Amino acid sequence: MNNPKRNILITGTGSGLGRGLSLCLAQQGHSILATDIILAGAQETVAQIEAAGGKAAATAMDVTSEEEIRRFLQNRGQQQIDTLINNAGLQHVAKVEEFPPAKWDLLLDVMLKGTFLMTRAVLPGMRAQGFGRIIQIGSIHSLVASPYKSAYVAAKHALLGFAKAVALETAGVDITINTICPAYIRTSLVEAQIQDQARTRQIPEEEVIRHIMLQPMPKHAFITCEEVAAAVEYLMSPLARNVTGQSITIDGGWTAQ
């Protein structure tokens, strides 16, 4: 698919899927605006992109801060943002009775409020240029649940409703918003989850991988960043102009059962 080259703003690029998507999309010739709450992480991602011959710039940004987002866009001036990928996220594993309210607030702030604030901020520019693609990184947990992940499941489910509302509000212009819902990707976030699940369930880490993470997937294989990047490429393409308010599930057959 020969997509036009886009300016892509990605949140949470300091590690994991954010970094993987940045590298994959830069390899396809897109310009990456790599943001992360920890600047050093975004800078390392940019260094890897540039070492491979790609174009990227790093910025520190807290997606829960309206002021930081506003300042970022002001500093860009007239440089357009074609695609926003709302990827920033985090996880906490605990029983509801033991879930710290402050941690609940943090997860919802980053993954739901942060998505709202970023989307709200880029929409005027996308409307002005007559084009925009907003891609939310959801999860298999946008569709199903797992125990001990109440805040994460709640936030990821909410993204689907948010996308539907924005899809209706942007139907009159060539702007789309969709949610990609992958099952487990072997990122640093998932590695931490493996450790947390092993501790919470009091089972070995290898058993978490085999019986908790991969068991629900008939294909029994972790999803890759390249697979998610391919879905992004499709959603950015002119051929996807009528795909909006939808979820694209990459789950190895999990939800087919």
pLDDT at residue 153, rounded to an integer: 98
Q: Residue range 61-87: average pLDDT?
A: 94
Q: In the chain, pLDDT over 90 holds for what percent of residues?
A: 87
State residue 12 phi and psi, 5-degree precision: 65, 45
Q: Residue range 43-50: average pLDDT?
A: 98
Q: Tens digit of pLDDT for each residue in 154-201?
A: 999 999 999 999 999 999 999 999 999 999 998 877 888 888 889 888
Catalytic residue positions, numbered: 152
pLDDT at residue 1, rounded to an integer: 63
pLDDT at residue 47, rounded to an integer: 98
Q: Residue range 123-136: average pLDDT?
A: 97
Q: Tens digit of pLDDT for each residue in 222-235?
A: 999 999 999 999 99
Burial of 25 (0-12, 13-18, 19+ CB in 10 A): buried
Residue length, the chain?
A: 257
**Tokens describing residue 248:** 């694209």
pLDDT at residue 40, rounded to an integer: 98
pLDDT at residue 192, rounded to an integer: 83
Q: Tens digit of pLDDT for each residue in 89-105?
A: 999 989 999 999 999 99
Q: Which of 220, 255, 180 is nearest to 10 (CA)?
A: 180
Order of strands, sheet of 247-250, starting from the edge strand that comes earlier in the sequence: 55-60, 31-36, 7-10, 83-86, 132-137, 175-182, 247-250
pLDDT at residue 101, rounded to an integer: 98
Q: Tens digit of pLDDT for each residue in 12-36?
A: 999 999 999 999 999 999 999 999 9
Whole-model pTM: value is 0.94
Q: Rounded to whole angstroms, how far apart are CA atoms 5 and 236? A: 10
DSSP 137: E
Q: Which residue has the higher pLDDT, 142 or 190?
A: 142
Q: Rounded to whole angstroms, how far apart are CA atoms 30 and 17? A: 17
What are the structural domains of the chain? 7-183+222-251 (3.40.50.720)
Q: Rounded to whole angstroms, how far apart are CA atoms 90 and 158? A: 15
Q: Rounded to whole angstroms, how far apart are CA atoms 139 and 202? A: 25
